[in-house]
Structure 1
């Protein structure tokens, strides 16, 4: 140890040395993206068939707000309400705040740490040869001590930890955007499920009313002896069977409303957003094409869940370096400052400054440290495979959605024509029956066919809308960063409990918090 009186050069020299060594001796691997070659140029015939690339003159809304293609203010109001109150979105935003605080913990490792500070005041007395006099023999002794330790980032332990926390912060932001994608898709899908069920309910009621008239006619004919009981019972069976579907659809509508309420962060109850455009009730639109802002291959790699998976790889890659740093000696600068004084007249006060380097090395923990490095590397490899699976799943989701949309569009024309033919068949069957050229069974068959074709047409329309939503979701659609990270009520509640400083403000990027000159080694935006 070195005893010195004016060691003003020590902190500055140590800072320069730490910065130099930390920049030049970073153990562990530097992160490298693990993208497969096929993902750079991927596409499919199904996607090309049902998508187009937006041009500058295209008036279609941005894919981040794809739900506006439906021109439905009810849906836009629902999504706006979900953005404000959805519980999953709030949790995802709070995880961004948590990751930002974790980044602050990692950044603190670059600075000296106060290891011990103490102060004391002692009352003492001197013993005189002529006896003890408390009034003249009592005195006070004061002392103040401060110990500081500063581990130099000799092997990049702290810079790798900052790199990992930086990537984790980005991953938290990406996960929040992924939550936005999921919530927007769920709200839209549930909304159009509701509209499809409303349309099916309307069809069931209309057909039940039609079949009720037939039943009443056969009932009168049976009472007058003009027909047998078979026609009466068959008409009654078909009418009651159709009528029984009405409570089922009403129940499904109530369940869809409950699901929308939960997505909006509310208990089951009224949804005034559904009444913004009353004419949209029971209307299922048909949109035959998704307008994208880029080619599918690039959009897949920009999906929030894909970006989050890549950032998680970067964070884990840096942790390998943190683990490897334990294999090498730890170099620290330690120092103590001790001041003491006394109330005795003429007693001198003393100030002692002690400082010097300290080296620690876990020579006998080599096996534990080596295996910890292997653990971190195995975790990285798992995340690499998980990332590749995420990209493949994203491609599959997009291709599946495009294939389903293409099939639904083809069926739409066929089912529309079949619905018209069924309507015409019922008209002819009623005419022939009234004129006595056929039995009542043909009327029943025509009614059953009309009900089935009308229902199939509406269901297929709903499937087409659902497939379009899934396609937009699969190709990076539905995330919008215009929403505030923390709502005012949550901010106030958290600030009452804890001093958050500026961590609850909207972060521009992690590098802004890390100070000028910091260059993250992981992937950046």
Structure 2
């Protein structure tokens, strides 16, 4: 049997149907740069070559150094910055849960009261005292309907912020892997320069001892002695500086992998070995790699999160419609007083009519913040392209200098051999020997520094293209997970969330607010 709906019920049904259908504020539009789709760097093309392996996810394998591989794996498991970034993902996940609770009634309150009444009545015809207890229990519910999309926009913002936290975690991985490789090869460079300094110091010490014997025997002038001594002591003075560089860099590596500063026994192997590279190994065009950089994806997701906040602010300009209801049961020990059960329910309308510009200006604040993030995103893309192009150019020039400096170092070594022979045979003075020793040390050191620069530029290129952001390690390490679970009921939030694929658009994996 059909029943006719009353006007009040019809209004309520209409409000429920319209709830969540209107979403104020702009829908997110990716702040892409048109030039990126067609951008290519001649320097990157020249500095790279196609290779099947390794790809940019594990670019450090191009050095074929198992020690570096082990150090990076240890850093993935124990680096404190990476741990903090993983915990921020969990924080953003909890914030998303808070926003999603707006889909349900905001007020769900159970109350219970017990009151003792002591009434003294004096005067009149029938003075009397009464003592009683009054008990009551109630349940109140209030549900603000998502009429203007306030809560759905808040969920959209928190959702984007959650994925932005994941992208920031991946960005920390990129920076960590690059810093680990850079510090590792800086240590190897310092070790190699220290070895060269010690070798040249031993060579110059022999020359100094020879000139000292010749001077004592009257066969050489004091000038030769003092010049040889000066050069030897000058080279000897560089050794403590190189030793200090080795210690500082080793300590930096220890902290990066989560150890206290100190010796790293595994570094004894391959001491002072700097790889000789030729090209970078890339499997994709630079434009695609730029857009997949974790910091670029994080910047885009931050734009999405802020865009949704404009709709949250605009919802305050319009009335809010809520459904209120209460169930109250009360009883008293006073004789003759009945027990009561009250059922109350109905819609409630609230509207801040006179805001004196507060709400409108808040909308403007949110819009200005959105525009700032859009500009920051666009600038971030340009900076990423600049970093990649600069690193590729630096790599090309370092490779060009490598061949020249290698020949110069060989020529300096040959010059020293000839200068020593001519000095012993009396065809030249000792100054030629000193000049040749000085040139040999300078050329050998310059060659090592340039090889180190080539490695640093290669690392910078992979970092600029966002390589090395993926890890098999959990976002929260087991020790931290155990501590957090002992303190707080985390439910399933500490379980590993899904991660975006490497070749996906930043917002493909964004959870819909309608799920």
TM-score, scaled to structure 2: 0.91
C-alpha distance after superposition, 1:417-458 (max 9, x if no partner): 111111111111111111111111111111111111111110
Q: Which SS does the other structure have where 1:24 is aligned?
A: coil
Partner of 2:355, secondary structure, is helix
270, 274, 277: which one aligns with 1:287: 277
Structure 1 distance, partners of 2:55, 2:406, is 31
Q: Which has the higher mean CA deviation after the structures are superposed, 346-355 or 488-497? A: 346-355
- Report the CA distance shift for 1:22/1:444 in structure 2 as closer, same or farther (over 3 A): farther
The one of 217, 231, 235 equivalent to 1:242 is: 235
2:105 paired residue number: 112
Please say if 1:51 is aligned against 2:38. Answer: no
Deviations 1:379-410 (A, max 9, x none): 10000000011001100110010000000101
Counterpart CA distance in 2 for 1:125 and 1:82 is 71
| Structure 2 residue aligned with 1:399 | 389
Conservation of the 8 A alpha-carbon contact between 2:61 and 2:69: yes
Shift of 1:123: 5.1
Deviations 1:57-88 (A, max 9, x none): x1x12312111111112111211121122111
Match of 1:330 in 2: 320
User: What's the CA shift for 1:52?
Assistant: 2.8
For the residues of structure 2 that align with 1:199 and 1:475, how far apart are their CA atoms? Answer: 29
Aligned equivalent of 1:504:
494
SS in 2 for 1:120: strand
Q: Name whichever of 220-229 and 179-188 sits farther off.
A: 220-229
2:284 match: secondary structure:
coil
SS at match of 1:505: coil
Q: What are the superposed Cα offsets for residues 19-41 of structure 1, whole Å, 9 maximum, x if unpaired?
A: x4344210100010111111112
2:347 aligns to what SS in structure 1? strand
TM-score norm. by structure 1 comes to: 0.89
Using a 3 Å threshold, how does the CA distance of structure 1 residues 166 and 14 change in structure 2: closer, same or farther? farther
The whole-number CA distance in structure 1 between the counterparts of 2:511 and 2:225 is 85
Per the TM alignment, residue 496 of structure 1 is displaced from its structure 2 partner at its CA by 2.0
2:20–2:145 contact (8 Å) kept in structure 1: no
CA shift at 1:125, angstroms?
A: 8.4
Q: Which runs of 5+ in 1 are unaligned?
A: 1-8, 511-516
Which residue matches 1:371? 361
Alignment of 1:50-89 (within 5 A): 50-54=47-51, 58=52, 60-89=53-82
Higher alpha-carbon deviation: 122-131 or 140-149: 122-131
Range moving further from structure 2, 475-484 or 262-271: 262-271
Distance 1:16 1:213 in 2: 100
- Secondary structure of the 1:363 match is coil
Q: Distance in 1 between matches of 2:239 and 2:418?
A: 27
Give the CA deviation at 1:504.
1.3
| Shift in CA distance, 37/53, structure 1 to aligned 2, threshold 3 Å | farther
CA distance in structure 2 between the aligned counterparts of 1:269 and 1:92, rounded to whole angstroms: 26
Correspondences of 1:271-350 after superposition (within 5 Å)? 271-275=264-268, 278=269, 280-342=270-332, 348-350=338-340
Relative to structure 1, the CA distance from residue 375 to residue 39 in structure 2 (aligned partners, 3 Å threshold; closer, same or farther) is: same
How many pairs are equivalent?
A: 495
Partner of 1:514: none
Tell me: CA distance 1:285–1:381, structure 2 relative to 1, closer, same or farther (3 Å): same
Q: CA RMSD in A?
A: 2.6
For the residue of structure 1 that corresponds to 2:36, the secondary structure is helix
Residue 161 of structure 2: which of 168, 177, 188 is its match? 168
State how far apart, in whole Å, the 2-side matches of 1:16 and 1:75 are: 65
Q: In the alignment, is the contact (CA less than 8 A) between 1:78 and 1:273 conserved in 2?
A: no
Give the secondary-structure state (helix, strand or coil) at the position aligned to 2:357: helix
2-structure distance, mates of 1:520, 1:196: 52
What's 2:223 paired with?
Answer: 230
Equivalent residue for 1:220, pick from 213, 217, 221: 213
Instruction: State how far apart, in whole Å, the 2-side matches of 1:45 and 1:61 are.
Output: 22
Whether 2:26 is the aligned partner of 1:32: answer: no
Superposed counterparts of 1:187-198, under 5 Å: 187-198=180-191
The Cα of 1:17 is off from its aligned counterpart by 4.8
SS of residue matched to 1:365: coil
Specify the alignment match of 1:42 in structure 2. Answer: 39
Deviation, 1:335, is 0.9
CA contact (8 A) 2:159 2:511 kept: no
Alpha-carbon distance between aligned partners in 2 of 1:518 and 1:337, rounded to the nearest angstrom: 37
